[in-house]
Structure 1
Amino acid sequence: MALSVKPKLCKGCGICVYFCPKSVLDLDDMGKIYVKDPDKCVVCGQCELRCPDYAVKVTKEEDAGRDTK
């Protein structure tokens, strides 16, 4: 799982923070997005889907050593 944010794109609306079910995201003192605790992210993608500024990106990574047969 990879959660990344681009604070420069964030306008501080807080929509991603509101819709995050695990409170992984927050806004800093400047009103920019940041990740509080990436280990709590459940990769639901709600933050990315709702961000009007494209400041949040969620990707699910497959286990490299997993057998796919």
Structure 2
Amino acid sequence: MGKFKGAIVVNTDRCKGCSLCVEACPKDVIALARKKVNVHGYPFVEVVNPEDCIGCASCGIVCPDGCITVYKKKMEE
């Protein structure tokens, strides 16, 4: 069985900064932006360690606003 690599895409304009996804991520791939806000004035989630993403989609599952999409790619060994 091969390994999977994930890629996270965040719709920052819809994100309200609840950080449920940050808590759900087992690899600390995403974090709440500290000094940036979106068009609605909310701090948003951004990808800080993209190389650590395993594509589990925990972040996307818990997002109440559907702001996160996770893609999986099978890595060659």
Task: State the TM-score bracket (shorter-chain normalisation).
Answer: 0.7 to 0.9
Structure 1 gap ranges (5+) = none
Taking only the aligned residue pairs, the percentage that are identical comes to: 36
Match of residue 48 from structure 1 = 60
Q: 1:26 aligns with which of 31, 36, 39?
A: 31
RMSD: 1.5
Judging by fraction of residues, say which structure has more strand. 2
Once the two structures are TM-superposed, the CA of residue 62 in structure 1 deviates from its matched residue by 4.7
Higher relative contact order (CA 8 A, sep 6+): 2
Once the two structures are TM-superposed, the CA of residue 61 in structure 1 deviates from its matched residue by 3.1
TM-score if structure 1 supplies the norm length? 0.82
The number of equivalent residue pairs is 64
Structure 2 gap ranges (5+) = 1-5, 38-42
CA deviations over 1:20-52 (Å, ceiling 9, x no partner): 000000111232010001110011110000001
TM-score if structure 2 supplies the norm length? 0.74
Runs of 4+ residues over 3 Å off in structure 1: none
For the pair 1:17 / 2:29, whether they are aligned, the reply is no
Q: Secondary structure at the match of 2:73?
A: coil
